[in-house]
Amino acid sequence: MPRTMVFIISDDVETTEKAKAALAPYGVSVTTYGAGQWRDGLENSFFRSQLSSGLMPLASGTSPVDQHRGNVLPFPGVSTNTNQDNSKVATMDELESKAIENAILQFRGNLTEAAKALGIGRATLYRKVKQYQIDPTIARKKRAA
């Protein structure tokens, strides 16, 4: 069964504790980060890759969470390949195309769910899939395998 996770970025300990208490009866996993921790973490490629894979490296006493990632999409351009050529700056079209591909893969070819996760309309996603020549059937075939 999927587990709901919430990340709270705040330096207000009292408010974060109230949020944790309010969400606990629903079985929601809450992880809090101070503003500085979050900012520093986002500048760290290891933190970003761990966050996108469902791990929470900055929280104390954490362990890997289950592999269902809900609506968390990988950061565009984050790669575990350290041999990647970082000298090339990706264009906005490349980043958008990669984000769309990731969402389609995450939702196993379900374009309606991918559009919701991306925060765009379904018709817009269909148009962009055509524009970037993305084949959603590949994700659907992986689903069947």
Is residue 85 one of the residues assigned to a domain?
no
What are the pLDDT digits (tens) for 109-122?
A: 999 999 998 999 99
* Separation CA 132–CA 83 (nearest Å): 26
What are the pLDDT digits (tens) for 85-110?
A: 556 788 898 889 999 998 998 888 99
97 and 136 in a single domain? The answer is yes
54 and 96 in a single domain? The answer is no
60 and 120 in a single domain? The answer is no
8 and 57 in a single domain? The answer is yes
Q: What is the mean pLDDT of residues 117-144?
A: 88
54 and 2 in a single domain? The answer is yes
113 and 55 in a single domain? The answer is no
**Residue range of the domain that includes 96:** 92-144
32 contacts 56 by C-beta, under 8 angstroms: no
Total domains, the chain: 2
102 and 60 in a single domain? The answer is no
Which one has a higher pLDDT value, 60 or 126? 126
Q: Which two tokens stand for residue 23?
A: 């969400």
Q: What is the mean pLDDT of residues 8-36?
A: 84
DSSP state of 32: E
Is residue 86 one of the residues assigned to a domain?
no
Is residue 46 one of the residues assigned to a domain?
yes
17 and 57 in a single domain? The answer is yes
Quote the pTM value: 0.43
Q: Which two tokens stand for residue 140?
A: 């659907």
64 and 3 in a single domain? The answer is yes
Which one has a higher pLDDT value, 132 or 73? 132
